[in-house]
C-alpha cells in the first residue's frame, strides 16, 4: 500500500534535550489522521520533518510517493500546510497575501479562494497584522484549501480559537475533504476535536510514537474494568493491560486496550470476576495511554 | 513569482528607496554649485575640486547605507516568521533566495539612475573650467556597483543564522585577541593594517568604496 505519508526509523535531534527516535508513521491515502500528543511531544517537529522544513539525522520520509527532503518542492506543491503560528508578512493585506500565495501554486483556485474569503468574512484591504487570531486562522486555512492540495497538513489549526471560528474552519476543511477525497494529517492536543473528525489516530509522547491505529479501534478498545479477586500477578491476558489500580477492598480498576467482549472469560480462568466494563472516551483513553507509556518507558 | 516578491519588497523598502533616490539626484547637483561661473581663477578651480571631493565622500556612505537598509528589509519578514512560510513554498531554497535578492537589487536601480540623472544634469548645466572634465556616467556606474556590493554583503550577512553571526563575531574577537597579544609581546604585527589593505585596497572586495569620488576632475 502506498501511504500518503510514511516515515521509517526517523531520527532527529534539536539541542541536547529533545529527540525524535525511531518514528514509523503510516498515513493512509484518503484518511483523516489525528496526530495527538501533549505540548512538547514532537508533533510540530514531526510535521516540519514530513514537509522537509528541517532535515532528519537518519531515516526515510515519503510523502505522496516522493522522497523528502530531496523532492520537498514537488511535494509542497501538492500539500496545503497550516502552521501552528501564522507566519505571514504582517504588512500585506488579505488581497495581497492571496496574490502572493497564488503566484507559487499552479493549482491555485481563485473562485474557491474568493468563496472562502466571503464565507470567512475576511476584508480584502485589511493588513494581515491587523487581523484577529480567528481571522488569521481562517486566512491560513483559506490559503491551504485554495491551492487544491492532495494532502492537508494542519498543525493545531484551531488552537486558541473560539468555538464559532473552530466550527467554521473545521466545516470548511471537512467540505473540502469530502469533495476532493484529500488526505488530512492534523495535529492537536484537543482530543475531543479529533475524536469527531478523524478515522486514524497516532499518539506521540516525548519524541516517540506511542500508538497508531484506527480511531474506532482506539475508542472501542480502551476500557476501564472493575475486577474482583484477581491474583497479584497475571500471565498472558488476551488484551493489553495498561494500568492496574486498587480501588476499594478487593476490587481493582484495570485500564485495558484491545478489549473484546468475549475476553470476559479470561477472568474466570484466573479465578477473578469481572464486575463492570466501562467505556472510556478518547480523552480518558489518551491520558491513560500516556500514563502507562511514561511508566513503562526505559 | 518575481512580481509578487518585487511588490512585497517595494512595500517594505519604499521609504528608503524614495529618500535614497532624492539624495542620489540632489548630491551631484549640490556638489558642483561652485562651478556656476564661467571664468574661474586657478584658485577657484582648486576650490571647486575641493568641494566636489568633499561632497564625493557622501556617495560611498549613501551606497553602503542603502545596501544595508534594503538588505535588512529584504530578510526582515522572513526572519520575523522564522522562515516557516518561505520554507513551505514549493520551490527550491536557492531559487527563493535568488528571487529575494533580485527583488531588492531591482529596486536599487532607482537611486543609481537618480545619481546618473543628477550627475548628467549637474555637469550639463554647470560651466566646467578648461582643463577639467565631468564624469557623470563613470560616477553613476561606480555608485551602482558600490550599492550592489554593499547590498550583496549585507544580504549574505543578514541571511545568516545566529550561529553564523556567532562565528563572524568569534573571528573578529580572535583577530582582536591576537593583536592584543602581539602588542603585549612587542611583536611587529599589525593585523588591522593588513586586513584593511586586504579588504579595502584593489582587488579587495570593498575597494570600490575607497578612493576619490569625483564628478568633475582633471
Q: Where are the domains of chain A?
A: 5-212, 223-279
Q: Is the distance from CB of B154 to CB of B72 less than 8 angstroms?
A: yes
Quote the number of domains for chain B: 1
Q: State the nearest Cα–Cα gap between A296 and chain B, in angstroms.
A: 36
Distance (Å, rounded) from C-alpha A193 to C-alpha A184? Answer: 14
Find the mean pLDDT for residues B130-144: 90
In chain B, the residue whose alpha carbon lies closest to the alpha carbon of A76 is: B90
Option in A51, A85, A99 nearest B4 (CB)? A99
The structure's pTM equals 0.83
Task: Decide if pLDDT at B80 tops 90.
Answer: no
Closest listed residue to residue A269, CA positions, set A239, A231, A240, A243:
A231
Whether residue A103 lies within 8 A of chain B, CB to CB, comes out as yes
In a domain, B182, yes or no: no
Residues of B in contact with A83 (CB under 8 A): 84-85, 88
**Fold adopted by A5-212:** Rossmann fold (3.40.50)
A66 vs B: CB within 8 A: no
Does residue A242 register a pLDDT over 80? Answer: no
Domain contains B186: no
Least confident of A37-51, A195-209, A219-233, B81-95: A219-233
Nearest to B8 among A75, A92, A105 (CB): A92
Q: Is residue B52 part of a domain?
A: yes
Give pLDDT, residue B35: 61
Domain of B31?
Answer: 2-160+208-217
Segment B159-217, tens digit of pLDDT? 877 788 788 889 888 988 998 898 888 888 888 888 888 888 888 888 888 888 888 88
B183 vs B44 pLDDT, higher one: B183
The per-residue pLDDT for range B106-127, each reduced to its tens digit, is 999 999 999 999 999 998 888 7
Is A195 within 8 Å of A45 (Cβ atoms)?
no
- A192: number of Cβ within 10 Å: 10
State pLDDT tens for residues A61-95.
999 999 999 999 999 999 999 998 888 889 999 99
Residue of B15, B84, B99, B100 to mutate, interface with A, max A Cβ within 10 Å: B84
For residue A298, pLDDT over 60 is answered with no
Q: How far apart are CA B149 and CA B147, in angstroms?
A: 5
Q: Which uninterrupted H or E stretch holds B111?
A: helix B109-125
In a domain, B190, yes or no: no
Checking if the pLDDT of A244 tops 90, the result is: no
Size of interface A-B (CB pairs under 8 A): 54
Average pLDDT over residues B58-83: 91
Contact A76 B12 (CB under 8 A): no
Residues 6+ apart with CB under 8 A from A67: A60, A61
Tell me the mean pLDDT in the region B129-147.
91
Of the partner residues A51, A85, A96, the one whose CB lies closest to the CB of residue B88? A51
Query: CA distances (Å), A276 to each of A101, A123, A223, A224, B41, in order?
Result: 56, 56, 10, 8, 114
Buried b (16+ CB within 10 A) or exposed e, B21-48: bebbbebbbebbebbeeeebeeeebeeb
* Cα→Cα distances B51→B38, B115, B128, Å: 17, 17, 14
Predicted complex ipTM: 0.82
Confidence (pLDDT) at B158: 85
Assess whether pLDDT exceeds 90 at residue B71.
yes
Range in A55-64, A256-265, B51-60, B95-104 the model is least confident about: A256-265
pLDDT for residue A248: 67
Beta carbons of B90 and A73 less than 8 Å apart: yes
Is the C-alpha dihedral spanning B49, B55, B59, B61 positive or negative?
Answer: positive
- Residues A9-68 pLDDT 10s: 999 998 878 889 889 999 999 999 999 988 888 999 999 999 999 999 999 999 999 999
* Position B43 pLDDT exceeds 80: no
- Contacts B8 to A, Cβ<8 Å: 89, 92, 96, 100
Amino acid at each position: 500500500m502506498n501511504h500518503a505519508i510514511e516515515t521509517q526509523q526517523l531520527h532527529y535531534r534539536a539541542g541536547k534535550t529533545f529527540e525524535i527516535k525511531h518514528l514509523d508513521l503510516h498515513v493512509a491515502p484518503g484518511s483523516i489522521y489525528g496526530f495527538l500528543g501533549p505540548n512538547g511531544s514532537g508533533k510540530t517537529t514531526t510535521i516540519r520533518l514530513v514537509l522537509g522544513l528541517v532535515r532528519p539525522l537518519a531515516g526515510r520520509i515519503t510523502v505522496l510517493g516522493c522522497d523528502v527532503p530531496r523532492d520537498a518542492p514537488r511535494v509542497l506543491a501538492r500539500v496545503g500546510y497550516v502552521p501552528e503560528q501564522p507566519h505571514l508578512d504582517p504588512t500585506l493585506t488579505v488581497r495581497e497575501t492571496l496574490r502572493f500565495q497564488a503566484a507559487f501554486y499552479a493549482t491555485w483556485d481563485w473562485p474557491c479562494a474568493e468563496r472562502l474569503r466571503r464565507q470567512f468574512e475576511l476584508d480584502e484591504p485589511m493588513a494581515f497584522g491587523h487581523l484577529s487570531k480567528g481571522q488569521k486562522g481562517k486566512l491560513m486555512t483559506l490559503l491551504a484549501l485554495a491551492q487544491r492540495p492532495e494532502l492537508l497538513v494542519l498543525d493545531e489549526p484551531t488552537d486558541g480559537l473560539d468555538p464559532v471560528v473552530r466550527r467554521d474552519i473545521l466545516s470548511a476543511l471537512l467540505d473540502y475533504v469530502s469533495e476532493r477525497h484529500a488526505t488530512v494529517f492534523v495535529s492537536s492536543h484537543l482530543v475531543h476535536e479529533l475524536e469527531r473528525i478523524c478515522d486514524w489516530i497516532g499518539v506521540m509522547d516525548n519524541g516517540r510514537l506511542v500508538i497508531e491505529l484506527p480511531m474506532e479501534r482506539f475508542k472501542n478498545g480502551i476500557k476501564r474494568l472493575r475486577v474482583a479477586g484477581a491474583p497479584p500477578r497475571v500471565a498472558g491476558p488476551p488484551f493489553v493491560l495498561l494500568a492496574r489500580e486498587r480501588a476499594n477492598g478487593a476490587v481493582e480498576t484495570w485500564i485495558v486496550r484491545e478489549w473484546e467482549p468475549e475476553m470476559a472469560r479470561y477472568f474466570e480462568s484466573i479465578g477473578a470476576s469481572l464486575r463492570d466494563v466501562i467505556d472510556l472516551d478518547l480523552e480518558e483513553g489518551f491520558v491513560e495511554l500516556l500514563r502507562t507509556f511514561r511508566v513503562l518507558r526505559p | 513569482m518575481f512580481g509578487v516578491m518585487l511588490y512585497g519588497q517595494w512595500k517594505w523598502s519604499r521609504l528608503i528607496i524614495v529618500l535614497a533616490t532624492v539624495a542620489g539626484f540632489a548630491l551631484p547637483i549640490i556638489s558642483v554649485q561652485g562651478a556656476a561661473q564661467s571664468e574661474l581663477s586657478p584658485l577657484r578651480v582648486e576650490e571647486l575640486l575641493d568641494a566636489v571631493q568633499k561632497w564625493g565622500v557622501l556617495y560611498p556612505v549613501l551606497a553602503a547605507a542603502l545596501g544595508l537598509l534594503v538588505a535588512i528589509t529584504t530578510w526582515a519578514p522572513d526572519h520575523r516568521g522564522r522562515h516557516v512560510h518561505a520554507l513551505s513554498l514549493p520551490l527550491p531554497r536557492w531559487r527563493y533566495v535568488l528571487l529575494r535578492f533580485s527583488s531588492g537589487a531591482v529596486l536599487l536601480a532607482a537611486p543609481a539612475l537618480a545619481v546618473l540623472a543628477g550627475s548628467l544634469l549637474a555637469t550639463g548645466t554647470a560651466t566646467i573650467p578648461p582643463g577639467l572634465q565631468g564624469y557623470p556616467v563613470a560616477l553613476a556606474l561606480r555608485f551602482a556597483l558600490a550599492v550592489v556590493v554593499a547590498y550583496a554583503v549585507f544580504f549574505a550577512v543578514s541571511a545568516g543564522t545566529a550561529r553564523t553571526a556567532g562565528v563572524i563575531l568569534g573571528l573578529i574577537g580572535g583577530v582582536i585577541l591576537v593583536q592584543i597579544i602581539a602588542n603585549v609581546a612587542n611583536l611587529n604585527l599589525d593585523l588591522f593594517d593588513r586586513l584593511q589593505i586586504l579588504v579595502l585596497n584593489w582587488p579587495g572586495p570593498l575597494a570600490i568604496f575607497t578612493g576619490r569620488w569625483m564628478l568633475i576632475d582633471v
